[in-house]
Amino acid sequence: MAAQGTDLSTFNNDWYNPGKNFLVRSLWFAVNLIFFRSFFPLYGVKRSLLRLFGAKIGKGVIIKPHVSIKYPWHLETGSHVWIGEDVWIDNLAKVTLKDNSCVSQGALLLCGNHNYRKSTFDLIVSEITLEEGAWAGAKTVVCPGVCLGANSLLTAGSVATQSLDSGWIYQGNPAQKIKPREIK
């Protein structure tokens, strides 16, 4: 007997509510395109726009050009957080970036996935947290439900499918614990 395959015609995520109404989401889409996904360089304006749309943003947050944030009302940062160029925060659920955490250029924070075990390809969403001093290196992928522990480092090009212990360096796909992160 052949195994049942995926049937995308049966996909239904009506249960998912991204928050805010259609008008607010549409307005955010335009603001994101104009001020965040472009070369717009003024960090203070970006912080203010995020707050206007419901994000909780600490002081001194740096948001480089060409960043995409799906839903700002699901974003919370501490102070002195860095978000590098070409970062994509696909925050279908809450993303928390605590004080002094860094998301380097090209990183993907993905709060959503699909259940590959079901023919209906159900949407799965889960929060992501970068604890204080955590660093998601360039071109990394942080998967749904993952927490990068305090002062942990996910090295360039690595994929975090599980949470990272505090104070350790992780590398690879899937990311493996390599050695302690020594900060002087």
Structural domains for the chain = 19-180 (2.160.10.10)
Strands (E), 40-111: 62-63, 68-69, 75-77, 82-83, 88-90, 95-97, 102-103, 108-110
pLDDT, tens digit, 9 for 90 and up, residues 10-39? 999 999 999 999 999 999 999 999 999 999
pLDDT, tens digit, 9 for 90 and up, residues 70-123? 999 999 999 999 999 999 999 999 999 999 999 999 999 999 999 999 999 999
